Amino acid sequence: MLEQRQREMRVRNVLGGRVVREHYLREAVPCHSALCTRCTRAGKVLGADLTHFLTPDCTVALHYLEVLELPQLNGLLFTHTAYQHVQHKSRRLYQRLRRLLNSPRSDCVLFANEFQLGAYVDRRPSETHAAWQTRSVYHAAVWYHKHLSKRIPVVMVTVDPAVVEKYGSATEGVYVVPFQVYLESFWPDVPEASEFLGSLHQALITKEVESCRGRKREFAEHLPVDVLEAGIRAGRYIKGTVSMNKHKAHVEAFVQQHRLLSKDTGAWKEFLGWLNHGVWFSSDATLDDVLVLGMKNRNRAIHGDAVAVELLARTEWQGRSLTLGDVGRYDCPQEESHGEPMPTGRVVGILQRNWRDYVAILPPPEEGPTQGRQAQRLLAVPWDFRIPKIRIATTQAAMLQDVRIVVRIDSWDSTSQYPNGHFVRALGKAGDIETEVAAILIERGISVLPFSEAQLREMPTDSPTSPWAVDPKEVAQRRDLRLSHLIFSIDPQGCEDVDDALSIVQCDGLDSTIEMGVHIADVTKFVPPGGPTDLEARSRATTYYFADRRFDMLPSVLSSNLCSLRSGEDRYAFSVLWRLDKETYEVKDVWFGRTVIRSTYKLSYETAQAVLDGGHIEFATEIPELCGTEDEQQVRLGELRDVLNILTDVARAWLCRRTANGGLQLEGSEVRVEFGGVPGTVSGITPKKALEVHETVAECMIGANTWVAQRLFKSLLGCTLLRRHPPPRPELFGPLCNAGESQGFHIDISSNKALSDSLEKTKDHREPLVSHILRILATHAMSNALYCSSASVPQHELTHYGLALPMYTHFTSPIRRYSDILVHRQLLAVLAAENGDFEDSEVMPSGTYLEEICQHLNERTRAAQKAQKDSVDLFQCLFFRDVNPRMEESSTDHRVADALVFAIRANGVLVYMPRFALRGAIFLKDKEGRVASLMADGTCDFRHGCLIHKKHEIVSQPSDGLPFVLRLFDHVTVHISAEQHRAHADTLHVHLLRLEGLNQQGAHPQDTPSRPRDHMVREVQRRAMVDVEQGRSSTVGPPACPLGRESYRQSTGGLYEFLEEFEEIALMEIGKKPLACVIVKEADQPTSQSMESE
Ligand SMILES: [Zn+2]
């Protein structure tokens, strides 16, 4: 039954006329309640176990939406009336509301009351729109209550006393109450809800007061969006994302042009044409940044916003700062040294706000106004240096002293020097580990609430009373490798989420081959597409590894149990089995498919290496699976060693072929944070040790990933999820080439092969750290690897530069990466289609949808990397702040270390401290303009004088004292200390102690992690030569970076993941490419179209 009513909609359109919209009413509009037996169930439903439903009126839905977002409030019923009200009033809040409704976690639904025959009410002739809206919401609540046979009360909340009076008790079972009263009486144990309501209320009042007051304009007005868009099309304005120089956030910002996309090339072409005509070109400049100097020119743009800029006249162009910046420290402007003039502009309008939640702290009392009962207006200082202070009104200023809080920005008017915002919630006392970890999560936009009931309900059970076991029916459909294959896993010590295992079988027969297997946890078996677990995993996109904890992508019953390939237990797997030539290890054949396996050994990298090297092994603790008599043990150990030897051999052969094609061997500098007995203290920071077996396992995973990528691409072409690594931008190699040159090495960057060969030669240097540091600099120049849909990028750009593979994807870690789950589903669909079974292929995302998911995965992956780095930094600072008792006993201050100079700047040098794999800056000029000077006892102090900075060295020339020279790769002794900041994360400071290095006692063997690899790479090169001589071609595909993503899997270690870190260190940023990768558009964060006035 369908009833049509015409509803007149007054819409101001171009013609100025009235538009009549047809409005259809139906009976079959679902109520989305689990209690209902009549309606169709589509999408989310409100659980049957709720005590009441909560429905906000239009004002509450608009102004207090953020309170409704609190995860504790459940059973939310948004009426279509309220939904539309939000949509009309604020684009930013509308997007928030949609996100809330779409979120798999939140317990809220949208009820299309205006289309439901029984729930809809017509507007009365004399009725105001607002009155009708309220009546419409109320009527919907009443209908809902009756529709569910009055089994559950419905509470409508409002902030209008008149509404309470009118409807308050008009219907039994439907309650209309003030929002404040509701929160206090229904949620007494969630006091933050009422506080939050108060904070939002304050912000609203403030805004009203301000809008009545005429005030002086601080900034130019923004141009309207249509003017901006026309200007961009015409090439008058340039569109880009604003990013602040973290070290000079008050002064220097850059607008990075949106990357060249085939669809949107107007402004870019304009810009390129302009470059090519020689108007501006400098070999040292980055081609697509526009410099924006000062707050006026920045015109209220906030880090991350998409803006339109207008270039200034060429005579007004300036250079970017080349001075070492230090967060929180202000250098004397006259001391600044600047690069060549570059395009300089001013922001004329905002295309899209990219505001998010900001961690901040209130100013100390003496800086703020006097305490009182009334709301105070305070300038909250954000944790992120790049974000301006945010003005908030709060009545709790005294209570919030030294507490980290979350604030949101509401608006930034041209009459206001600072943005206006509101207090959201308190995180805890600044400096507490839990507070700091919470701050990192918020700053990186990571949401890791406990898994919901619905998600856990979807999981299989495994308990002592009902243990999980493989299903014989399922086993019948899989290849059973439990008895036929010796399977083992190699992971970091204590690893719980084992998602890959390996096998080697020697097939004796006529053709004499080896079968090598990579077995990956079959996660998709347990995660139905579109279910609550799947949606949650997609939203998280990855497991987040912190220095002291991790936040899993999947519930632990999967990640550390049923999908973890533990030894001695039957597990479902997805396997890749290669048949290899016994001599050459060339791939003759490959098989992909679902299997059931039982791993025999769960080895740590260290144990596996010890088995290979014939080292001493504590059987009981290291390989408990090896039980039995001593003879049996030896026999089985021999068998294991044989298998590991073959595996190593195969990996070497594969690596050799890829290296022959130009694979890069890059360096990250990953550290392990060691925790002492005392909670919250750090006992040590050590660089992770590289073993050959790391590379062997990485090699096998790289092999599986690339074979899967090629297999998928062959069948799916357009919608394969791939991981590509674009070639680096040549202009970023400056620091590397310069550092190489200083040691007599020419670094050829023309291709990955040339670069790889150049870097290889640097190993001959008498100082092994030179090669190590050059590799770090090479890594620094790399772009980020990215997920993409094969349809969105031309095929020649799908390659992986670092691994030098024509095609790559992520298949091997589905427990901790959502990309791998999607790739598993793609491969399953391809295999099913081959067997004539098309059922599975329906669930695959493709086209724009796949591209959107890829972007989301890229953003989350980057957030995970940054958060991990933040957390390591946090503990590093703790380490250098706390005096470590163990170190004190040995009478050596653990904060004194050897360091190597690896870059020269105008006012100092950048150094690398191998013992901690740490980089830092040494300022040779202090705040007063004095320069470092050498004292008679060999120590350093600051004196008046000057610095002379050259390409490979810097000379300090004090007016009264000895001059000294620091050259690239000179050793010095430094003192590392942690400086505490009230508003921001603590930072490390490096001070020059002596000009000579700390004697080599401080240097550990693992200071040069490339050493175990040297032997291997030489072997690989030898084989490559043999291959070339014999005219053999590579079957595994192009080369890899041997220390790939997979090697330090427990802590997301791989090289490409480090790139972000290098970009972030920012000390490197100054001369070259600042902030290139810091532009992260957080999809999960609130955004708003430039609706300044909302
Ligand atoms: Zn229903």
48 C-alpha vs ligand 1 centroid, how far in Å? 12
If one counts every other C-beta atom within 10 angstroms of the C-beta of residue 420, the result is 19
User: What's the count of helices (H) and strands (E) in the chain, helices before strands?
Assistant: 28, 41
What 3 state SS string does 420-455 have? EEEEEEEEEECCCHHHHHHHHHHHCCCCCCCCCHHH
Ligand 1: centre distance to CA 425 (Å): 36
Q: How far does residue 102's CA lie from ligand 1's centre (Å)?
A: 20
Q: Give distance in angstroms: CA of 81 to centre of ligand 1.
A: 18
Question: 382-410 burial, b for 16+ CB within 10 Å, e for fewer?
Answer: bbbbbbbbbbbbbbbbeebeebbbbbbbb
The strand pairing partners of 499, in sequence order, are none
> Cα of 182 to ligand 1 centre, how many Å?
26
Our CA angle for 1043, 522, 652, nearest 5°, is 25
Instruction: Please state, as a whole number, how many other Cβ atoms lie within 10 Å of the Cβ of residue 208.
Output: 10
Question: Which parts of 78-150 fold into alpha helices (H)?
Answer: 80-89, 91-102, 129-147
How close is the Cα of 361 to the center of ligand 1, in Å?
47
Retrieve residue 22's tokens: 């047809």
Secondary-structure breakdown of the chain: helix, strand, coil percentages, each rounded to the nearest 5: 35, 25, 40
Under 8 Å between Cβ of 357 and 406: yes
Instruction: Report the DSSP pairing between strands 570-581 and 513-521.
Output: antiparallel
Q: What is the DSSP letter of 222?
A: P
d(CA 768, CA 753): 22
Tokens 């990397």 sit on residue? 865
Q: Please report, to the nearest 10 degrees, the dihedral formed by the alpha carbons of residues 420, 425, 429, 433 taken in order.
A: -110
Q: Measure 149 CA to ligand 1 centroid, in angstroms.
A: 10
CA of residue 531 to ligand 1 center, whole Å:
22
Rounded Cα gap, residues 784 and 1059, in angstroms: 6
Whole-angstrom distance, CA of residue 1045 vs CA of residue 812: 11
C-alpha 29 to ligand 1 mean position (Å)? 8
Separation of 53 CA from ligand 1 center, angstroms? 14
Q: Distance, CA 54 to ligand 1 centroid (Å)?
A: 16
d(CA 125, CA 499): 66
CA of 537 to the centre of ligand 1 (A): 30
In sequence order, what are the residues at sequence separation of 6 or more whose Cβ sits closer than 8 angstroms to the Cβ of residue 631?
Answer: none
Q: Say which residues have a Cβ less than 8 Å from residue 818's Cβ, sequence separation at least 6.
A: 537, 538, 540, 541, 542, 553, 857
Cα(40) to centroid(ligand 1), Å: 7
Do 232 and 268 meet the contact criterion of CB atoms below 8 Å apart? no
Q: What is the pLDDT at residue 819?
A: 96
Q: Which two tokens stand for residue 795?
A: 């095929």
Long-range Cβ pairs for the range 190-193 (8 Å, 24+): 190/70, 190/72, 190/73, 192/70, 192/425, 192/426, 193/67, 193/70, 193/72, 193/73
pLDDT of residue 136: 95
CA of 303 to the centre of ligand 1 (A): 46
C-alpha–C-alpha distance, residues 338 and 859, integer Å: 32
Tokens describing residue 991: 């001070």
Q: Please tell me the distance between residue 23's alpha carbon and the centre of ligand 1 in angstroms.
A: 21
What are 316-320's contacts with CB under 8 Å, separation 24+? 316/344, 317/291, 317/341, 317/342, 317/343, 317/344, 318/291, 318/293, 318/342, 318/344, 319/291, 320/245, 320/252, 320/254, 320/291, 320/1070, 320/1074
CA of 32 to the centre of ligand 1 (A): 6
Rounded distance from Cα 22 to ligand 1 centre (Å): 25
* Distance between Cα 177 and ligand 1 center (Å): 25
- Measured in Å, residue 36 CA sits from the centre of ligand 1 at 5
580's CB contacts (< 8 A; 6+ apart) are 513, 514, 515, 516, 586, 587, 588, 650
Cα(38) to ligand 1 centroid in Å equals 5
Which residues make beta-bridge pairs with 252? 293
Ligand 1 centroid to residue 37 C-alpha, Å: 7
Q: Which residues of 869-902 are buried (b: 16+ CB within 10 A; e: fewer)?
A: bbbbbbbbbbbbbbebeebeeeeeebbbbbbbbb
Query: Could you give the dihedral angle defined by the CA atoms of residues 156, 159, 164 and 167, in that order, rounded to the nearest 10 degrees?
Result: -50
Residue 459 CA, ligand 1 centroid: distance in Å? 27
How many angstroms is it from 154 CA to the middle of ligand 1?
Answer: 14
Distance 116 CA to ligand 1 centre (A): 11
What amino acid is encoded at 547 in this protein? A
* Ligand 1 midpoint to CA 57 (Å): 21
Closest listed residue to residue 715, CA positions, set 832, 591, 829, 830 = 830
Quick check: 95 and 103 in contact, CB under 8 A? no
Residue 80 pLDDT: 95
CA distance 628 to 610: 20
CA of 33 to the centre of ligand 1 (A): 6
Q: Which residues contact 333 (CB under 8 A, 6 or more apart)?
A: none
- Residue 172 Cα to ligand 1 midpoint, Å, equals 20
In the reported structure, the alpha carbon of residue 1016 is separated from the centroid of ligand 1 by a whole-number distance in angstroms of: 67
Give dist(CA 248, CA 997) in Å, integer. Answer: 32
d(CA 824, CA 810): 9
DSSP 43: S
Ligand 1 center to 1087 CA (angstroms): 34
C-alpha distances out from residue 151 to 50, 146, 456, 603, Å:
11, 8, 27, 57
Residue with tokens 């994302």: 241
With beta carbons less than 8 A apart as the criterion, state whether 755 and 747 touch: yes
The alpha carbon of 1046 and the centre of ligand 1 are apart by a number of angstroms equal to: 50
Q: Please give the pLDDT value at position 1053.
A: 35
Q: Ligand 1 centroid to 41 CA: how many Å?
A: 9
Compute, in angstroms, the gap from residue 34 CA to the centroid of ligand 1.
8
Residue 1055 burial by Cβ neighbours in a 10 Å radius (0-12, 13-18, 19+): buried
Distance (angstroms) between ligand 1 centre and the Cα of 187 equals 27
Reading the block at residue 561, the tokens are 């149990």
Query: How far, in Å, from the CA of 157 to the mean position of ligand 1?
Result: 22
Beta strands in 939-1068 (DSSP E): 940-943, 945-949, 953-958, 964-967, 971-979, 987-994
Q: What is the pLDDT of residue 858?
A: 94
User: How far apart, in whole angstroms, are the C-alpha atoms of residue 641 and residue 635?
Assistant: 10
Distance CA 981, CA 873 (A): 14
CA distance 708 to 574: 11
Please check whether residue 1091 is in contact with residue 91, taking contact to mean a CB–CB distance below 8 angstroms: yes
Residue 316: DSSP 8-state: G
Six-digit token string for 608: 């596996």
Nearest alpha-carbon partner for 720 in 817, 595, 853, 592 = 853
Residue 55 alpha carbon to ligand 1 centre in Å: 16
Dist CA 515 CA 528 (whole Å): 32
**1079 Cα: distance to centroid of ligand 1 (angstroms):** 46
Q: Global pTM? A: 0.79
Distance 49 CA to ligand 1 centre (A): 16
Separation of 7 CA from ligand 1 center, angstroms?
Answer: 26
Question: Rounded to whole angstroms, how far apart are CA atoms 1088 and 943?
Answer: 52
Q: How far apart are CA 456 and CA 437, in angstroms?
A: 25
Per-residue pLDDT tens digits for 43-63: 788 888 889 999 999 999 999
pLDDT of residue 882: 61
Report the alpha-carbon distance of residue 1085 to residue 384 in Å, rounded. 16
Ligand 1 centroid vs 143 CA: distance in angstroms? Answer: 10
d(CA 482, CA 599) in angstroms, rounded, equals 8
Expressed in angstroms and rounded, the spacing between residue 85 Cα and the centre of ligand 1 is: 24
Compute, in angstroms, the gap from residue 935 CA to the centroid of ligand 1: 84
Question: Do residues 505 and 700 lie in contact, with contact meaning Cβ atoms separated by under 8 Å?
Answer: no
For residue 35, the CA-to-ligand 1 centroid distance in Å is: 8
834: CA distance to ligand 1 center in Å?
43
Q: How far is the CA of 110 from the centre of ligand 1 (A)?
A: 13
Å from CA of 58 to ligand 1 middle: 23
| Neighbouring-strand partners of residue 292 | 253
User: What pLDDT does residue 34 have?
Assistant: 86
Return the pLDDT at 674: 75
Q: What is the pLDDT of residue 1031?
A: 41
CA distance 826 to 819: 11
What separation in Å is there between the alpha carbon of 30 and the centre of ligand 1? 5
Structure tokens at 862: 């980057």
Q: Residue 208: CB partners within 8 Å, gap ≥ 6?
A: none
CB atoms within 10 A of CB 328: 15
Residue ranges near ligand 1 (ion) with Cβ within 5 Å: 31, 36, 39
CA of 167 to the centre of ligand 1 (A): 24
Nearest Cα neighbor of 727 from 800, 675, 619 is 800
pLDDT at residue number 936: 77
Q: Ligand 1: distance of its center to the CA of 148 in Å?
A: 7
What's the DSSP call for residue 104? Answer: S
Low-confidence ranges of the chain (pLDDT < 70): 1-22, 212-214, 258-287, 322-337, 366-375, 510, 665-671, 676-680, 717, 838-844, 882-892, 999-1094
CB 552 within 8 A of CB 497: yes
Secondary structure element (H or E) that encloses residue 595, with its range: strand 587-598
Which of 75, 139, 126, 65 lies closest to 99 in space, CA to CA? Answer: 65
Distance, CA 1050 to ligand 1 centroid (Å)? 47
Per-residue model confidence (pLDDT) at position 422: 93
- Measured in Å, residue 173 CA sits from the centre of ligand 1 at 17
Q: How far is the CA of 958 from the centre of ligand 1 (A)?
A: 84
Strands 587-598 and 76-79: unpaired
Q: What is the DSSP letter of 620?
A: H
| CA 1000 / ligand 1 centre spacing (Å) | 76
For residue 89, the CA-to-ligand 1 centroid distance in Å is 30
- Determine the distance separating the centroid of ligand 1 and the alpha carbon of 142, expressed in angstroms: 13
Ligand 1 centroid vs 72 CA: distance in angstroms? Answer: 25
